[in-house]
Amino acid sequence: MSDLVSEVREALGLPAPGVAKAIRVSAGVSQERLAEEIGCHRVTLARYEGGQRAPRGELRVRYARTLRQLEAVIAS
């Protein structure tokens, strides 16, 4: 599978804002730490989790990928 297809699939896999927040909280990760990990400001992440904004481009891919990884850790 090409990198482009993988990135699109990951970006489309972004959970709803409330679910994203629940994943982060269940993993015991602060907004500050997750924002640092994906490369945005904590306030921006808070707006994503509140449904006021949606990530785009590469940031969306990183956010979706990181949430999926956190979810996998929680499930194991």
pLDDT in tens, 63-74: 999 999 999 999
- Model confidence, pTM: 0.86
For residue 8, pLDDT beyond 90 = no
- Return the CATH class of domain 3-75: mainly alpha
Q: What is the DSSP string of 4-65?
A: HHHHHHHHHTPPPHHHHHHHHHHTT--HHHHHHHHTS-HHHHHHHHTTS----HHHHHHHHH
The reported pLDDT for the residue numbered 5 is: 78
The reported pLDDT for the residue numbered 11 is: 65
Mean pLDDT across the stretch 11-39?
94
